[in-house]
Chains A and B, each alone.
Chain A
Amino acid sequence: GENVEQHPSTLSVQEGDSAVIKCTYSDSASNYFPWYKQELGKGPQLIIDIRSNVGEKKDQRIAVTLNKTAKHFSLHITETQPEDSAVYFCAATTQRGKLIFGQGTELSVKP
């Protein structure tokens, strides 16, 4: 069935460094790939997304890249700040229906 693998499960970086989180998906029909940030006690917040007809998308310090051939996509956060500390989830969907989520990455940015 559909599956999304996410790595690493935990990531610790120094403030100002870059952070990269990677995901792979199994269903080649997947066409929409959102990333969510979840802070403790809150619901997931959509931070960036990419569609299958685009290879890269950028929004200030956040960028997402997609390699359809290899079926993987990545989140890049540059100039990390302590407030970037949270759990990040990738997801994939083949339709305007269910999202299949990765297992999450706990990012810690040390001042």
Chain B
Amino acid sequence: GAGVSQSPSNKVTEKGKDVELRCDPISGHTALYWYRQSLGQGLEFLIYFQGNSAPDKSGLPSDRFSAERTGGSVSTLTIQRTQQEDSAVYLCASSPGGADSYEQYFGPGTRLTVT
């Protein structure tokens, strides 16, 4: 079946502009996660959704970062007033979200370059 999809695959933006990154989870998966992968920091957790609620936002680096999920499906990660240090690959993962399901399946990522 279809896996996690993310768009765009690549995004180049100028410093100070806002960007929106989209994630479509695997159909039926109630849990959704955003991570960031950069050369210096490895894979870092950003935020976790269960349904439309975000019980853990502890990884968002600053108040310029926000995320929402509507209809228990698609999620959007928004970065306002982008900075060069925001350049990274942004990865989304989804999980069935059931009582005994821990597995997270990743999308291909969005490579963000801030110039």
Co-complex (A, B): yes
A→B interface (CB under 8 Å): 32, 34, 36, 41-46, 49, 51, 89, 91, 93, 96-104
**Partner of B42 from A34, A51, A96, A104 at Cβ < 8 Å:** A104
Find out whether the CB atom of A96 lies under 8 angstroms from the CB atom of B106: no
Find out whether the CB atom of A98 lies under 8 angstroms from the CB atom of B45: yes
Q: Given contacts A32-B102, A49-B103, is CB(A98)–CB(B43) below 8 Å?
A: no
Tell me the interface secondary structure of chain B in the complex: strand
Q: Given contacts A89-B43, A99-B45, is CB(A46)–CB(B56) below 8 Å?
A: no
Q: How far is the CA of A89 from the CA of B44 in the complex (A)?
A: 12
Find out whether the CB atom of B48 lies under 8 angstroms from the CB atom of A101: no
**Partner of A96 from B31, B43, B44, B58 at Cβ < 8 Å:** B31
Which residues 66-115 in B have Cβ within 8 Å of A in the complex?
91, 95, 97, 101-109
Find out whether the CB atom of A49 lies under 8 angstroms from the CB atom of B102: yes
Q: Can you list the 3 inter-chain pairs with the closest CB atoms, starting with the nearest?
A: A98-B45, A43-B106, A101-B43
Q: Which residues of B contact A44 (CB under 8 A)?
A: 43, 91, 106
**Is B59 positioned at the interface, with any CB of A under 8 Å from its CB?**
yes
Find out whether the CB atom of B104 lies under 8 angstroms from the CB atom of A34: yes
Q: Given contacts A46-B103, A49-B102, A93-B102, is CB(A98)–CB(B108) below 8 Å?
A: no
